[in-house]
């Protein structure tokens, strides 16, 4: 990787693209579920905590990948 001087830019671009696509997919699923159920989305503090811990766990797994 160090042979390519733009490796940081490429890494940020790929990571940002993956994040964008993941966020759009999540928004699509929320909208689809709301349209099927007819109810508005109600996010409880417990649901928010679960989502937050899931994101932290995912980021920890990604950062530990290079340490092996």
Is residue 26 in some structural domain? yes
Is residue 25 in some structural domain? yes
Is the pLDDT reported for residue 1 higher than 60?
no
Is residue 29 in some structural domain? yes
DSSP letters spanning 4-60 = STTHHHHHHHHHHHHHHHHHHHHHHHHHHHHHHH-SPP---HHHHHHHHHHHHHHHH
Is residue 2 in some structural domain? no
Q: Are the beta carbons of 40 and 34 closer than 8 angstroms?
A: yes
- Give pLDDT, residue 54: 93
Q: What is the number of structural domains in the chain? A: 1
Predicted TM-score (pTM) above 0.85? no
Is residue 1 in some structural domain? no
- Give pLDDT, residue 40: 76
Print the domain residue range for 59.
7-67
pLDDT of 4-63, one tens digit each?
Answer: 888 889 999 999 999 999 999 988 988 888 888 877 778 899 988 999 999 999 989 988
Q: Are the beta carbons of 10 and 4 closer than 8 angstroms?
A: yes
Is residue 42 in some structural domain? yes
- Give pLDDT, residue 2: 61
């Amino acid at each position: 990787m160090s042979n390519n001087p733009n490796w940081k830019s490429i890494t940020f671009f790929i990571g940002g693209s993956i994040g964008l696509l993941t966020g759009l997919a999540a928004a699509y699923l929320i909208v689809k579920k709301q349209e099927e159920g007819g109810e508005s989305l109600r996010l409880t503090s417990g649901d928010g905590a679960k989502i937050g811990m899931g994101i932290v766990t995912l980021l920890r797994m990604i950062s530990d990948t290079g340490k092996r």
